[in-house]
Structure 1
Amino acid sequence: MKVLVTGATGFIGRQVVHRLREAGVELRLASRQPERLDAGPDTMQMPGYDAPAEAFLALTRDVTDVVHCAGLNNDQGNAAEADFRAANAQLSARLAHAAATQASGRFIHLSSIRAVIGARASATIDENTIPDPQDAYGRSKREAEIAVLGAYASHGRADAAILRLPPVYGIGMKGNLATLMRLADTALPMPTGALTANRSLLSSQSAARAVWHLLCHSEPLRPIYLASDEPPVSVAAVIGAFRRGLRRPTRLMTVPAGPMRTAATLLGKRMFWDSLTATQICDPSLLVSEGWAPEPSTLERLTEIARLRNPRRPV
């Protein structure tokens, strides 16, 4: 087995590389920043979506499997819809077509629950949930999913799979979880009484374990999988976990949702507030039924991540 990992210097890509190396897998690594990788004959520049076809053929030549982590994330606040579509949908389509012609093994495409639901929607989702993306990022991820599965189907192959992820946490995380940690790292009381909605999260290490599982388990691949920790946790519990790790006083206040929603609206933060108060639960039953084990200690892991951020702060 020789596996191409794209986005190898990214938040999740680094964990995938680490997990595969632990398993003794031969790797080819691709990144937009290859200088951040160990120099070697199988370290390559990630082509742009408009690169010549030969660049994608060279990238996938002599590998058996592909793990596609590269893409433009939704924490890029200045990205336009065309940027997301190019970096996520068009790039994925070209890579998948090249891999389907010459890589003999599996293609695992890392996607997001944003391909299915918007950030402010409340839902429980599984692999059969009808996609209804609500923003440019989500639409580009859904288009990428369709392109990858379509590329393999056009070559008569069924060994590509989409792995949809909820918000992923770990050292170096970004997005709403990083914002919550910054908020937790203050002396201000936190009005978490309104933040009781449950959310599915996933550790970056568990995401990497899910990738390895899909690469090597013996059953035929299904088109769509979801991974998540179990059980889901509330936003209030997440803030509490961060504060324990940061050695901050808990100071969680019970405040009704109405006044907080009004305040968020006045401050121009209504969309952020709505994203915090939505219940979004991922059902990883399919992946679990095939032998993958979810992370059972989400809050303890979040506390440890926060502790590592400020290890010298006195109790």
Structure 2
Amino acid sequence: MSGKLIALTGATGFIGRHLLRALSERGYRVRVLLRRPVEVPEGASGAVVGDLARPMNMAAALTGVDAVVHSAGLAHAMSGAPEDDFRNSNTEATRKLADAAQRARVGRFVFLSSIRAQAGSSAPAPLSEADVPEPTDPYGRSKLAAEEALAETGLDWVALRPVLVYGAGVKGNMAALLKLARTPYPLPLASLAGRRSLVSVESLAGAVATALEAPGPLRRPLVVADPDPLTLPEMLAALRAGLGRGPGLLPCPVPLIGLACRATGREAAFDRLSGSLVARAEGLEALGWRPAQASRDGLAALARAGG
């Protein structure tokens, strides 16, 4: 790349750390926007301290910037009012940053949205960005509202909608799955047939680069997903293969698994385990994006590296 200057939010988070490294390796200069004074992350060209909820120092953060990559956001509610939490952190903060970017005449705004802006935790048919979005929870609604706020600006924007992301340092559902794979016991999960799309954080970083480099204007959402959706047993088998073990999976009637989950307060987990969410990255692939590796290979490598 030609040394273009990127303003990156969320650089200290799981995805943001990978984006910072990947963009720097591609020759971009990266200015990180930090919420509090900390040591400038390795790979950053500079840092500006500011709060997206109360836009401080936005003019300084965006001076001379060619593009913004906005990966900061709230994934879990912080209070008993999740709609407010998500709206403030995901929608309003994005709106304010976009307004500042427009005033600074930034060339492109890449927003890390989520597949949850498009659907709930499962979907009856494969998803693409051409589908009408139908988010089902406060998080997904806040991400969709942020996309709509971008559409109201004059920016050349793109909203990336990644499916479940995995990679070194991952937390949440994928970290729990990795922990489950590491247990020494056979798991009675072989009968779960729901398929789910995944994407590695390396592939997501490649999608961000594609969004930055694609000829414009874009002004649309793009799904980010590997082309090979996996069942939960296939995910566990890939993880255990990376650990040098066999799958260790046993069949069990799915209704019985559901009863056990409900009896232990894990009904939401069962819905995620048993349902399907398959997505197609048709728009990104048309722009030339390709995943860094197949999902099976990426999961095996993740487990082999220790997560």
* TM-score when normalising by structure 2: 0.91
Partner of 1:224: 221
The Cα offsets for residues 220-241 of structure 1, whole Å up to 9 and x where unpaired, read as: 3141111111211111111111
Q: 1:77 to 1:266 in 2, by over 3 A?
A: farther
What are the residue-to-residue correspondences of 1:220-299 with 2, within 5 Å?
220-299=217-296
What are the residue-to-residue correspondences of 1:12-51 with 2, within 5 Å?
12-38=15-41, 42-51=46-55
Verify the 8 A CA contact 2:66 2:106 in the aligned structure 1. yes
The whole-number CA distance in structure 1 between the counterparts of 2:99 and 2:77 is 28
Verify the 8 A CA contact 1:69 1:110 in the aligned structure 2. yes
The whole-number CA distance in structure 2 between the counterparts of 1:107 and 1:18 is 19
The equivalent position to 2:201 in structure 1, one of 198, 201, 204, is 204
What are the residue-to-residue correspondences of 1:31-110 with 2, within 5 Å?
31-38=34-41, 42-52=46-56, 55-74=57-76, 80-110=82-112
Verify the 8 A CA contact 2:223 2:279 in the aligned structure 1. yes
The equivalent position to 1:300 in structure 2, one of 283, 297, 301, is 297
The whole-number CA distance in structure 2 between the counterparts of 1:240 and 1:64 is 43
Letter aligned with residue 81 of structure 1: E
Q: Name the SS for the 2:38 alignment partner.
A: helix
Partner of 1:11: 14
Q: Name the SS for the 1:194 alignment partner.
A: coil
Partner of 2:128: 126
Q: CA deviation at 1:245?
A: 2.1
Verify the 8 A CA contact 1:9 1:36 in the aligned structure 2. no
Q: CA deviation at 1:80?
A: 2.8
Q: CA deviation at 1:71?
A: 0.7
Verify the 8 A CA contact 2:190 2:251 in the aligned structure 1. yes
Partner of 1:313: none
The whole-number CA distance in structure 2 between the counterparts of 1:308 and 1:15 is 16
Verify the 8 A CA contact 1:202 1:229 in the aligned structure 2. yes
Structure richer in helix, relative to its length: 1
The whole-number CA distance in structure 1 between the counterparts of 2:59 and 2:273 is 42
Q: 1:214 to 1:150 in 2, by over 3 A?
A: same
Gaps of 5+ in 1: 311-315
The whole-number CA distance in structure 2 between the counterparts of 1:180 and 1:164 is 22
Q: Percent identity?
A: 35
Verify the 8 A CA contact 2:68 2:106 in the aligned structure 1. no
